[in-house]
Amino acid sequence: MTQAFHSIIASRAFGVAARIVLTFMFWGSGLSKLLDFEAAKAEMAFFGLQPAALIAVLVIVTQLVGAGLIISGRLVWLGAGMLAVFTALTIPIAHAFWTMAGDQALHEFYVAVEHISIIGALMVVAWKTAPAPSLVPAEANRRFA
């Protein structure tokens, strides 16, 4: 690796830009739903999620808070976990390709595969930003028998 390349990828600006880009699908969607709450409620209802208004609020909060934590660099592991679980839940709710046929099934399969890749990226973010074991309370380090 060249010194110039290392300087770029090791910079704070690169890290912030990477976190903004990684979370774009979440904060972009969250802002869109926030700006058009009626459409957000309609989307929740379309997927059979009720009460639609409450679910829309929870989705917006999850997307914006999760992305915000990652972008801010604070409790990154928590934000990554929030967004990974959210993304995993969208697969059976909105992209259930196994219940479809033809082109629609293929399209939703590819969306699900992309979602799994995003989950993997969020897992890497959580892994690389997890607090050192010495910083975690002793009770959290105990193994359950």
CA atoms within 13 A on the CB side of 8: 5
Are the beta carbons of 25 and 70 closer than 8 angstroms?
A: no
> What percentage of residues in the chain have a pLDDT greater than 70?
92
The count of other CB atoms within 10 Å of the CB of residue 125 is 22
pLDDT tens per residue across span 58-105? 999 999 999 999 999 999 999 999 999 999 999 999 999 999 999 999
Residue located via tokens 């196994």: 98
Residue 57's domain spans which residues?
12-131
Structure tokens, 95: 């992209």
User: Within a domain: residue 64?
Assistant: yes
**Hey, what amino acid is at 29?**
S
User: Within a domain: residue 144?
Assistant: no
In the chain, how many domains are there?
1
User: Within a domain: residue 143?
Assistant: no
pLDDT tens per residue across span 37-56? 999 999 999 999 999 999 99
